[in-house]
Structure 1
Amino acid sequence: MAVTKMNAKQLHDKIDSGQPVLLLDVRNQDDYNDWKIEGKNIQSVNIPYFEFLDENETTYKDLPKDAEIIVICAKGGSALIVAELLDEKGYKASYLEKGMLEWSQFYHPVTVADDGDMKLFQINRLAKGCLSYMVVSEGEAMIVDPNRHIEEYTSLAEKENANIVHIMDTHLHADHISGGQALANQTGARYYISSSEMQGADMSFEPLEEHTEIRFGAVRVKILTIPTPGHTPGSVSFLINDKYLLSGDTLFVGGLGRPDLGGKAKEWAQSLYETVFKKIALLPEDIIVLPAHYADIQEINEKGFVGATLGEIRRSNEIMRTENREQFTEKVAGTVGATPPNYEEIVDINRGVIKVTSDKATELEIGPNRCAVHHG
């Protein structure tokens, strides 16, 4: 017997197959509790690496010998050592070769819609709970909320025989580094974001507020930009073909965007109230909401993407029905949770104010997303 190494895609394919998957995470307990690989068919066990070095047989007592054990650590080294120890004792062991470091940079595209004239992809960066989108029509593509690994988008566009012509961010992201500007530089596409998000920015962009709709492709896919402030003052949602609402971090399957990252939680919660009850309330119940983040693996639906109709979201989230402005504001401003780590530095990077190396960017982004907070 010998241990088998696997990469992030191979691990995802195994999880995606629907078969039970046993993950042994050997990072320390705090790191594990803060951020781990999750899935509907995953059994995850945390036994820190140093416990295996004690050569205490009780460390192994709850691990099965009749199932594959996939060992996970931060960068792969500790996982290999533990997998080899397991192998020596007769366990069937494999390990994630580059650990959570690689998992944090893995993207999985899913087709949301394909009606012949338009294809809509959701690109899920599973470790971060980050969702970005590609809309393709007649050989042209639009990218919404791209993350910094821009090759994910260029390769998908190439596969679809499409040229990327429009790139937009729904808002200035705080938990991950945007790939918008870099992707625009590489492809020659136009990069759009609200100018109120980019005060003090050192980069060129097309102000979204100057465009009520953007059309591209031979069938002229209609993109309506809807100001939906609250998570940030310049947050925008895109309505595609009157059917799909790319809602950024304003509206999630499980709740609403947090309004506190600018240090004005109550003020921005008021804006969010206006957005929910004076903008989103006007949209039909059957609009499919596609957010920029998700907080729970359970939000991935049976079709494999994160999304739900506006009617379903209203029915399952009391906050969407809380029309009393004061109650709404108190509840939204009071349940914001932990602040995204390094968010001030990430915001400065996304404004072009500072630049960092690829290694530094990876370090800044490590960890879970904290923008999708459930309000119930």
Structure 2
Amino acid sequence: MSVTVKTAKEIFDQVLNGEELFILDVRNTDDFKDWKIEGKQIKYLNVPYFDLIDGVEEIMDQIPKDKEIIVVCAKEGSSKMVAEMLSDKGLATSYLKGGMKSWSEYLYKKEVYKDDKMTVFQFVRVGKGCLSYMVVSGEEALIVDPSRFTEIYKKAAEDEDVKITHIVDSHLHADHISGGRVLAEETGANYYLMKSEGAVFDFKALENYNKIDFEQVSLEVIAIKTPGHTPGSVSFFVNDKLLFSGDTIFVSGLGRPDLGGKAREWAKDLYDTVYNKVSQITDDVIVLPSHYADFEDEVNRAGYIGETLGEIRKQNEIMSNQSIEDFVEHVAQSASSETPPNFEEIIGINRGVEKAAEEKQQELEIGPNRCAVHHTH
């Protein structure tokens, strides 16, 4: 039987459709435990490639004979060889094109909101749990928290026949490299970031803006300073309808404030944000975060990651009726979990004090999202 090549998109579509999959992951055990293709309908077998160099005979009793075997490795080469070995045994096999590197870089676009003033698209980076957005109004577009894959946003703007005129980053990201500065250079758009985040290149400081207007003031974006995840974190409140919450509020938790080594001090800022600033926003506002932890747990019926603020408050006890002492203790305890891999180097690149070639950027970003104090309900 011939071996099939599968793209990250094809596998994600299968996951999204709830199909039962069998994945043979031939990366080493630590890498597999740390990060893998997630899905409730997926069955896994993890056997490092080096254990299979001499053949697949010893694992044949663990491999289903009646369904396709999807073989996955880091970059593609090892999985292709193992898939061919299994195919020689008469099994239906495929491998992930580009390996987990391609899984880390795949984004898909989903419309999340539309009215007579604006249309909003969410870009889901499924292998990283990162979310970015495009707000379209009239002939212009605003991009929120773009990934480094700038062509995706330019193509989306072209599809909508609009020009990207504004780009905002809610904070200095620690788990992925922002595309904000490059996208601004490529499109001529204004790029906004909090000055307090310490970036050394030219941008428009959000401290100087209470709102960003474009297209006949049909789309208002009010920057609410919401420290917590980082001291300069902001959220963006759009037309009293949507809250782009950055890494401050997630569908299933709050942003982790420990990446600067000041967990308790920044947790007090996060408490002030949640209890004094966000508490003023009504329950029917839709929260659109910059990250998620588990796609299948957090995706809503409409097919995107987002939830009303009222529902998030219900699900997360930490967001109501907590004393500041209990809140800080809870957040500090959760902050003892692993930090995002390479986060200091990634922050250096996003700040503009370090540079990295494309291949280095790929390596730095490999791995899961760890920016949240998740599942606090």
| 8 Å contact kept, 1:76–1:95 | yes
1:152-205 deviations in Å (ceiling 9; x for gaps): 11111111111000000001111111110000000000000111112xx32001
| 8 Å contact kept, 1:168–1:180 | yes
Q: CA deviation at 1:28?
A: 1.2
Q: CA deviation at 1:52?
A: 2.6
The equivalent residue for 2:322 is 323
| 8 Å contact kept, 1:137–1:219 | no
The equivalent residue for 1:236 is 234
Q: For residue 311 of structure 1, give the secondary structure of its aligned residue in structure 2.
A: helix
Q: Which amino acid aligns with 2:311?
A: E
Structure 2 counterparts to residues 1-376 of structure 1, below 5 A:
1-55=1-55, 57-198=57-198, 201-218=199-216, 220-297=218-295, 298-336=297-335, 337-374=337-374, 375-376=376-377
| 8 Å contact kept, 2:117–2:218 | no
Q: CA deviation at 1:54?
A: 4.2
1:221-271 deviations in Å (ceiling 9; x for gaps): 111111111111111100111111100000011111111111111110000
Task: Pick closer, same or farther for the CA change 1:45–1:301 going to 2, 3 Å.
Answer: farther
| 8 Å contact kept, 2:112–2:122 | yes
Number of aligned residues: 374
1:298-324 deviations in Å (ceiling 9; x for gaps): 112222211111111111111112421
Q: Distance in 1 between matches of 2:57 and 2:148?
A: 44
Report percent identity of matched pairs: 55
Q: For residue 147 of structure 1, give the secondary structure of its aligned residue in structure 2.
A: coil
| 8 Å contact kept, 1:295–1:373 | no
Structure 2 unaligned residues grouped into runs of 5+: none
After TM superposition, the score normalised by the length of structure 1 is: 0.96
Q: For residue 70 of structure 1, give the secondary structure of its aligned residue in structure 2.
A: strand
Q: CA deviation at 1:116?
A: 4.0
1:207-227 deviations in Å (ceiling 9; x for gaps): 112111111124621111111
Deviates more, 1:201-210 or 1:55-64: 55-64
Task: Pick closer, same or farther for the CA change 1:118–1:56 going to 2, 3 Å.
Answer: closer
Q: Distance in 1 between matches of 2:22 and 2:115?
A: 38
Deviates more, 1:102-111 or 1:313-322: 313-322
Q: Which amino acid aligns with 2:306?
A: G
Q: Distance in 1 between matches of 2:191 and 2:56?
A: 57
Deviates more, 1:306-315 or 1:164-173: 306-315
Structure 1 unaligned residues grouped into runs of 5+: none
After TM superposition, the score normalised by the length of structure 2 is: 0.96
| 8 Å contact kept, 2:171–2:193 | yes
Deviates more, 1:59-68 or 1:74-83: 59-68
Q: For residue 95 of structure 1, give the secondary structure of its aligned residue in structure 2.
A: strand
